[in-house]
Structure 1
C-alpha cells in the first residue's frame, strides 16, 4: 500500500496531477483502514517523546497519537499532502514542522532523534537498505525506529508469486510502491541492537498488501 510519492530525488517521479490526486486519496479514502488500525497504532506510539522524525507522514493519519510536547519533524516529498497535514495538526493543537524533502536529501545530524517512525513508506523508497541505514544513523543511542509496513508473503506461497507478477504494474499505479519487499529482514540485518516485530494480515480488501509487519527496532545505547 503506497503512502507517499518518491522518497529520494532518484525515485519514482509522478506528474503534479497525480500527486494532487494521491494526496486527496490518502486524506479521504484511507479512513476505514485507519479506524481498524487504531488500536495497533495507539500501542505502538504510546511512549513517543522528545525529538521525533516521521518519514512520509502523508495526510497525517498518525498525528492523533502524538502528544503536544514532542518535537515533530515530518519529511513529506509530496507538497500537496502538506495542507492536509497542517489541517490535521491544527485540529489537534499540534505544532509541526514539515519539509518537502526525503531522508536521503536532507542533512539531519547523526544521533539526533529519539524516535524515527514510518507507516507504509518503506515500500516505495528506491533503496530500502540505504534508507534503513540512514534511520539508524540519525537515531540517538538507545533510540527507536517504529514501523508498520506491508511486505512480501512467505516464500513458496501462491500470494508471493502473485505479488512478484504484479509488482511492475503495481509500481506504476501505486506511485512507486513495491510488492516484493522483505522489509523485516532488511531491518533485522541493519545493525540495530534489538528488533521486535510481528506479522499480521491487515484490514484491507486487496490481498496483495495484506501481509503487514508492525514493530520497533532499538539502536544500541
Structure 2
C-alpha cells in the first residue's frame, strides 16, 4: 500500500503544479480574498452536522468563568465566527485571524450574536499573539485551525501563555486517521490538493500529539469519527487546563 500511496500522491502533485507556480508568482494571494466566502458558506453545513459535538464541548466553557465578571475568551483563527452561537451569554470575545478578509463575515455572525460582547478583531497568526497579554484570558478556543498553521506547537504555547492559571485551551480539529485505513491512504494522496483548497490545510497531521506534549496540567481529549466527508472524518475534541 505504501508504494501505491506514494505513486498516487506523485500524480496529484503533478496535477497541482499550476497551483504551485501561482503560489510562487504571488497569484495565490488572490484566493485569500475568496477563501472567507468559501468558509462562511461551508460553515453552515459543518455546524449543522457537528452541532451536537460543539454543544457538548462548549457547555464546559462555564467551568472556567471567573468568580467575578464575565468569561474572557480568545478565539484563535476565528474565521467567520461559526462558534459564536455556542458561547455563553455575556462572554467577552477577542478574535484573531491572519486573514483580514474574514472581518466582514465575522461581523455578520457577531451582529446575530447579541448575547456576546465583541472586544476586538486582531489580524495575527496563531504563532504570534503578542497583542494579547500574558495570563489575560480564561479560555482560548481553536477549532479547525491547527491543521493549517505553520507551527502547531508554537500556536499551542501561545495559547498557554495568554491563559490565566487554571484557564483552558479548547480544541476541535480534524486529524490523520490510523495508518492501516483507506482514509489514511487517501488523506496522504489528496494532501497536495487539500493544501491549496484549504489555504494551507494539512489533513495528515497528528495534532493530538502536539497538545499532549504541551505541558498542560490536565487534558480531556476525545477521538471520534465525525459525520463528514471521509477525508476529514477523523476528529479530536476536548480541552487542556493550564
Pairwise TM-score range, normalised by the shorter structure: 0.7 to 0.9
Structure with the higher helix share, 1 or 2: 2
Question: Does residue 95 in structure 1 map to residue 117 in structure 2?
Answer: yes
**TM-score w.r.t. length of structure 1:** 0.86
- Which structure has more relative contact order (CA 8 Å, sep 6+)? It is 1
Is the partner of 1:111 in helix, strand or coil? coil
* Equivalent pairs, count: 206
Change in CA separation of 1:155 and 1:14 when aligned onto 2, cut-off 3 Å: farther
Partner of 2:232: 209
Conserved? CA contact 2:219–2:239, under 8 Å: yes
CA RMSD of aligned residues (A): 1.8
Partner of 2:36: 23
Question: Does residue 61 in structure 1 map to residue 85 in structure 2?
Answer: no
Partner of 1:51: 72
Partner of 1:4: none
Q: CA deviation at 1:63?
A: 0.7
Alignment of 1:33-182 (within 5 A): 33-46=46-59, 47-48=61-62, 49=65, 50-93=71-114, 94-96=116-118, 97-107=120-130, 108-182=132-206
Conserved? CA contact 2:129–2:158, under 8 Å: no
Partner of 1:185: 209
Structure 1: state its 5+ residue gaps.
1-12
Question: Cα deviation per residue 1:73-95 (whole Å; 9 max; x = unaligned)?
Answer: 11022122111111211122133
Q: Give the whole-Å Cα distance in 2 for the aligned partners of 1:213 and 1:14.
A: 34
Is the partner of 1:199 in helix, strand or coil? strand
Partner of 2:221: 197
Moved more, 210-219 or 160-169: 160-169
**TM-score w.r.t. length of structure 2:** 0.79
Conserved? CA contact 1:14–1:175, under 8 Å: no
Larger radius of gyration: 2
Structure 2: state its 5+ residue gaps.
1-25, 66-70
Conserved? CA contact 2:172–2:238, under 8 Å: yes
